[in-house]
Structure 1
């Protein structure tokens, strides 16, 4: 199993960061960014920059194209439906699909659209990318963690994807229980993305002891309680793992949700607190911290 042709949809922070790395290391014509023609024209006129360097992306109009070996979805959850339509010509019988989206839902949605057998579970972690307008800055690229939903040992396609990404400068690790890993990352997002957005700061806001850091941990512990009901069984050890990851991020960095709030765009609140509240209702588990976060950010968004 060899990966020679790759398409990516979504030029947010992760799309630009990982896409630029692949563009620079793959053979010319083998990596393309898929978008509608109007968006492509804007990208070409304005340029897209990563750490001050103009990216030399090759584009593919979304109304044409042929199947690729690997399709990367790097959009926000509220843009996933449009991305699925844009990538319909890129997905073939043997295409692998990965998603860098937050939350615990995108793999299921992509599986329903293209076939669950094509989807490799993926989590992006450890990056501190900030995108403003058409310019991205970052210090830590972080990594992708991949695997089947649950496996005893890596399958052939997981090993192939792992080898491909690492050989092209995208750090990648394999996880045997990706469903649990996704829940663990979801717990992090529920805490960090929402609280930094609410307090109007950067990662530096939750590096220090204080109300925001305590709210973050409390929001994450509500996810731990729900995970037990869902049979995932996260623990305090998972929370402490992420606290260690957070400590390595630039204090000037911002999660994507905070960047949305600053730009007065609708955020992924429904994907984070909304999912927590939905699961809390399902299992009869109180989630007061996420309720407070949901209500306060909803009020902020009403003012846009």
Structure 2
């Protein structure tokens, strides 16, 4: 099982970040950016830039037929997942491996419903501080992809194949043999960081220093720890400390995706974060007041878009 071709669907921050890294080291046609014709025309006319460098991407529409990709990377937002799943139909073959960099804890199962869970490796993107404005991406820290099998403890041939491929291309990664815990850990981080920075209209520096914003973030994260116990995942204070350490290394001027959405008056992934927390809390009869407050504040901000 050797990986030679990669298809990426989604040219947000992570799609550009990983797409540019791969495109600079592989034959151009071996890294396919899957997008509809209208988007491709826009990308080709205005360009897509990564840290000031124009990306030389190879684009394909969903309708084009080619040899299946060895690896597909989903790099869309949650709102675009359904259309992205349909868009890669012609890229999926018998031996295709699929990674999802989406936030939250549900995208792998949703993709697996269409293409089969046997093709899925669970994945978390972490440690990057990329900021995308229009067609330009900037970052200080590239971060890494953490991936592994759904079932804990083992390491499949798919994991070995992706590891070998990333080694050849010097793409930072980590194999985790307990991906559900890693997935929930990143979810906990997003629930705290994304929502708090958005509400406080700040950046990573806002919650890297002591103060009300950081206290709010940590309190929201601890509510996720409580829910993880009920879900059988079992996050701990040690996991909280680990993710706070990851956060401490990001550029203070960088911003998470939800803060970027609020600035641009785009609807955010709030349902994926506190929305999920509130749904699970209701399931278990738990009270999650911090996430309720953050949810209400973000919904209120988004309702104001139509008044501007």
Give the TM-score normalised by structure 2.
0.97
Equivalent position of 1:180 in the other structure = 181
- Secondary structure of the structure 2 residue equivalent to 1:270: coil
Q: 1:250-269 maps to which residues of 2 (within 5 A)?
A: 250-269=251-270
Aligned CA RMSD, in angstroms, stands at 0.8
Q: Is the 8 A contact 2:196 2:217 kept in 1?
A: yes
| Correspondence for 1:17 | 17
| 3-state SS, counterpart of residue 145 of structure 1 | strand
Q: Over residues 126-148 of structure 1, what are the superposed CA-to-partner deviations in whole Å (9 max), with x where a residue is unaligned?
A: 00000000000001010000100
* Deviation, structure 1 residue 162: 1.2
CA contact (8 A) 1:130 1:138 kept: yes
Q: CA deviation at 1:92?
A: 1.2
Decide whether the 8 Å contact of 2:7 with 2:31 is kept in 1: yes
Q: 1:65 deviation in Å? A: 2.5
Aligned to 1:224: 225
Task: State the match for 1:194 in structure 2.
Answer: 195
Q: Secondary structure at the residue paired with 1:120?
A: strand
> What is the aligned partner in structure 2 of residue 29 from structure 1?
29
Retained in 2: the 8 A contact 1:186–1:272? yes
What's the offset of the Cα at 1:167? 1.9
C-alpha deviations, 1:18-66, integer Å up to 9, x for none? 0000000112311110000111011000000000000000001111123
Which 5+ residue runs of structure 2 have no aligned equivalent? none
Kindly state the Cα deviation for residue 168 of structure 1 after the two structures are TM-superposed. 1.2
2:170, 2:19 → 1: CA distance? 11
After TM superposition, give the deviation of residue 75 of structure 1 in Å.
0.3
What is the aligned residue count?
Answer: 304
Does 2:66 match 1:63? Answer: no
User: Helix, strand or coil: the match of 1:25?
Assistant: coil
How far apart are residue 170 of structure 1 and its match?
A: 1.6
Q: Distance in 1 between matches of 2:155 and 2:278?
A: 34
SS of match in other structure, 1:289: helix
Whether the 8 Å CA contact 2:98–2:119 is kept in 1: the answer is yes
Residue 45 of structure 1: aligned partner: 45
The match for 1:238 is 239
Contact preservation (8 Å) 1:187, 1:223: yes
Q: Aligned residue for 2:95? A: 94
Partner of 1:281: 282
| Cα distance between partner residues in 2 of 1:28 and 1:124 | 24
Cα distance in 1 for partners of 2:65, 2:106 equals: 27
Preserved CA contact (<8 Å) 2:28 2:57: no
Larger mean CA deviation between 163-172 and 257-266 belongs to 163-172
Does the 8 A contact of 2:34 with 2:87 survive in 1? yes
Q: Secondary structure at the match of 1:26?
A: coil
In 2, the alpha carbon distance for the partners of 1:65 and 1:205 equals: 47
- Contact 1:21–1:169 at 8 Å: present in 2 too? no
Once the two structures are TM-superposed, the CA of residue 159 in structure 1 deviates from its matched residue by: 1.0
Structure 1 gaps of 5+ residues are: none
Q: Deviations over 1:247-267 (max 9, x none)?
A: 100000000111111111110
Distance (whole Å) between structure 2 residues aligned to residue 135 and residue 124 of structure 1: 20
* Correspondence 1:197-212 to 2 at 5 A: 197-212=198-213
SS class of match (1:218) = helix
For residues 76-113 of structure 1, the C-alpha deviation after alignment (integer angstroms, 9 at most, x for no partner) is 01110111111111111111000000000100100001
What corresponds to 1:295 in structure 2? 296
Runs of 4 or more above 4 Å deviation = none
How far, CA to CA, are the matches of 2:285 and 2:164 in structure 1?
44
**TM value normalised by structure 1:** 0.99
Give, in whole Å, the separation in 2 of the partners of 1:150 and 1:173. 16
